[in-house]
Amino acid sequence: MKRKLTLMMITIALFAVAALATPSKMQVTLSITPNRTLPGLSVPLALHILNGSRAVQIAPGVRVRATSPAGESFFADWGEGVAGGELEFGVTDEEDSKFVLSANSSVDLAVPALDLSRPSWALDPRILALPGEWAIQVFLYDEDDLSEAAGISNPVKLTIANPTGGDVPVWQAIQRREYWAASEKVLAEQTGSAYFPYLAAVIARRSTPDKIAIIGRAIELHPESPAIPSLRYALAAYYGSEADRVFFQEGDMERAVALADKGRRELLRLKNGGDAWSKLKGNEKLGDYPSRDYFLDLQRLAREKGTKKK
């Protein structure tokens, strides 16, 4: 009897441990590469999500929980009043932007390394100020019940190295939120810095062709930077904007198409890239991007309905 009771207790305890060990119905596996960075520079957060027995509409918002070298844990503030990041689902449905993960299925999603024109968990003042060994976790949510996390990832280690040399004043300028000043300085003096690709999309008060050239240079000089997918997306966005400008303001369709083609090539690179965010974002954006057909359509509509003939 005593043995039976003991076995029963062990069984109950095992169930309890199993229940506690499962943080939610959704299993989220986080991996990061690289696992070493500089203050303020985020790294890609790759998420493999295995759903439980119920279909879930995953909320685009994610939160990052960070644990400092001293053991203090907190949800990262992404800066500029933004409390969380955004997942890319690659949804191309014209009627609906929802992303539903069906029961017992899996998906790979990611939060990219974000250039400094975007809010990022790495810009939380506590993380930004303190190099050392950090632990990172990602929290996912169910759009139908945002009150608690639907999935919590495993923690992963991230080393935030101490900046040295010319990177020290850049780090300090970022802490003061002097992004425009920092980006100008790095562009002029420190294009070899790991900060350059992260600041290349922040440059202000330049023409779009100038910005395209600066981002292109950052990609060329830092092909292995984690920020490359984010930069390629920025590059594509600028090519698209410039194509529109050339079409509308200069009326030069061939040049507009050529610019759009360059942007499309960047998106195709993303789509064919190795990480989940690039694939999804590239594919999604290609469905909303200028092309020859687009400009021909605009031209036709201007001819048919516009007051000014092109």
Partner 1 sequence: MFQRFLHDNLILTPFLKETVTSNQQKTSGEEIRMTRIRVRVPLLALGLLLAGSAYGWDFSVSVNGNDIVVNVTGMDNTTSRQTCAGAGVDLPGGGAHCGIPGLSSDTITVGCNRLGPHTVFVEVFDSTTNGQYETRLASADVTTPPSAGCPEYTFSASTFKALTHKYGAENYPTGQERDSQVLLYFKPIRVDPAVTFYGRVFDAKEGSTYRTSTNPNGDNIDTAAGKLAFSPSDTGSRDINFQAGTAPVKTMYLNTTGFAAGDNYTVAVTADPNLVSDPNFVCNTSPGCQQAGPITAWKRVYLEKKQMFRNGVFVAGSAVAGTNQVLVQIPAGLRWRNVVLRAGDSVRLLHAQRFDGLDFFPDYHWEDAMITAVDRVAGFRNRRLLTLATPLSYSYTEDTSYATALDDGVSDGAGNLAAGTYGRNEAYLGNTFAQAYVEFFSVPQSVREIPYLPVVRREAHVANKWFENTTINLLTRARPGNSNVKHILAGSGSPENSTSTQPSTSDFGSTGIAMSVPPPPGVDVIPQPNFSWTWVGGIERAVMQSGNAVRNLDPWIFNGENLVHEVAHGFNVNSVFYFAGDFGHCSRTMAGNPSLNCRMRSSQDPLYVAAQNADGIVGFHYSSDSDSEYMTIRTAMEPLATPIR
Q: Could you tell me which stretch among 2-10, 45-53, 104-112, 200-208 binds partner 1 (CB under 8 A)?
A: 200-208
| CA 234 from centre of chain | 12
Q: Could you tell me which stretch among 18-26, 43-51, 235-243, 266-274 binds partner 1 (CB under 8 A)?
A: 235-243
Q: Considering the rule CB under 8 A, would residue 188 count as an interface residue with partner 1?
A: no
- The single residue listed with the structure tokens 């990219």 is 112
**Is the Cβ of residue 194 or residue 243 nearer to partner 1 in the bound state?**
243
Residues in the chain: 310
Q: Is 138 helix (H, G, I), strand (E, B) or coil?
A: strand
The site string for partner 1 over 94-133 (x = CB under 8 A, - otherwise) reads xxxx-------------------xxx---xxxx-------
d(CA 107, CA 140): 13
CA-based radius of gyration for the chain: 23
Q: Considering the rule CB under 8 A, would residue 282 count as an interface residue with partner 1?
A: no
- CB 56, min distance to partner 1, A: 14
Which residues lie across from 36 on neighbouring strands? 159
Contact assessment for residue 195 and residue 38, using Cβ atoms and an 8 Å cutoff: yes
Q: Considering the rule CB under 8 A, would residue 148 count as an interface residue with partner 1?
A: no
**Is the Cβ of residue 179 or residue 277 nearer to partner 1 in the bound state?**
179
d(CA 230, CA 197): 9
Q: Which of 18, 53, 81, 188 binds partner 1 (CB under 8 A)?
A: 81
Q: Considering the rule CB under 8 A, would residue 70 count as an interface residue with partner 1?
A: no
Q: Could you tell me which stretch among 25-33, 37-45, 188-196, 299-307 binds partner 1 (CB under 8 A)?
A: 299-307
Q: Which of 45, 160, 170, 201 binds partner 1 (CB under 8 A)?
A: 201
156-160/36-37 β-pairing = parallel
Tokens of 219: 């990609």
Which residues, 6+ apart, have CB-to-CB distance to 114 below 8 Å? 42, 85, 120, 122, 227, 230
Q: Considering the rule CB under 8 A, would residue 216 count as an interface residue with partner 1?
A: no
Q: Considering the rule CB under 8 A, would residue 144 count as an interface residue with partner 1?
A: no
**Count of residues interacting with partner 1 (CB under 8 A):** 73
Pick out residues in 33-62 that bind partner 1 (CB under 8 A).
59-62
Q: Is 71 helix (H, G, I), strand (E, B) or coil?
A: coil
